Structure 1
Amino acid sequence: MKKINLTGLHKLRPRYSETDQMGVVYYGNYATYFEIGRVELLRSVGMTYAEMERGGTMLPVVHMNIDFKIGAKYDEEVILETSITEEPSRKISFYHALKNKEGKLLVKGEVVLVFVDTKSFKPKQCPEELKKLLFKASLKSL
């Protein structure tokens, strides 16, 4: 499996509705933040989820692992780093790190998705066009 070195950054500011009674982001909302990171990273290389779906490919989540260090607070500016480190095959893994503006790690996680056919829902290989875009973007980031 080939290595890829691709990281995208996305600024977030937790809204009041995303926090709990303690004033920190409710733990379930980090999955949404990670989705934002994935969508924006793919968009930055030139591929959207909508384009993949029109091309016959969907990406359901099959695994998620989240480590909570310190909760992000309401209205605190945070940076979401989303990375891909390996060539996708039938699956693609995204690594996420949410940090405050001082660079302190708040939350980290991994999300694994599989490529499936939109009609049959059977696993399939990563579309070649996406692989090409990921490698091209990875080379630019070196």
Structure 2
Amino acid sequence: MHADVIIEVPFHDVDTMNVVWHGHYLKYFEIARCKLLDQFHYNYNQMRDSGFAWPVIESYVRYAQGIEFAQKIRIRAILKEWENRLKIEYQIFNAESGKRLTKGFTSQVAVDMSTREMCYQSPQVLFDCLNAWSEFKAGK
């Protein structure tokens, strides 16, 4: 399961060398992650409404090639793990040439908002959303 987002890099994301500041890559990951979560109807509002927060506990970015102002990029978010955590891998491509520019991942764990305790297994609501989405996709 994956989601793609295409954006044009805004001026306020670049440094004096016209290259995207390294911290903005995580913002681009977040944009693609939200699109992915929307596909199976368990984005941050649904997480909160179900009684869980999903903080990012780990992130990694491999900066292979700089991204510049006004460059069109495609960010792909790929759901890799969901049983005990949400692990999502990302790839950023030049939208025109298709060349991969960056890759990385984030890991998130469920926290029960009523107890503020971390869950060692993803809550049933996540599995329900994924099952409903996969059944919907299979029916198309």
What TM-score, normalized to structure 2?
Answer: 0.87
Q: Unpaired runs of 5+ in structure 1?
A: 1-5
Counterpart residue identity of residue 129, structure 2: L
Query: 5+ residue gaps in structure 2?
Result: none
Aligned-partner Cα distance in 2 for 1:126–1:133? 12
RMSD: 1.7
Deviations 1:34-88 (A, max 9, x none): 11111110012222211111211001111111100111111111100000123x1
One-letter amino acid matched to 1:31: L
Q: Kindly provide the amino acid, as one letter, of the partner of residue 23 in structure 1.
A: N
Identical-pair percentage: 26
1:130 aligns with 2:104: no
Corresponding residue of 1:99: 93
> For residue 57 of structure 1, what is the aligned residue in structure 2?
52
Residues in 2 aligned to 1:118 and 1:103: alpha-carbon distance in whole angstroms? 41
1:40-119 to 2 correspondence within 5 Å?
40-86=35-81, 88-101=82-95, 102-119=97-114
SS of match in other structure, 2:76: strand
Higher RCO (Cα < 8 Å, 6 or more apart): 1
Moved over 4 A (4+): 135-139
Which residue, 5, 10, 14 being the options, matches 2:5? 10
Shift of 1:99: 0.3
Partner Cα separation in structure 1 for residue 134 and residue 61 of structure 2: 25
Tell me the TM-score normalized by structure 1: 0.86
How many residues align? The count is 135
Distance, in Å, in 1 between the alignment partners of 2:114 and 2:20 is 37
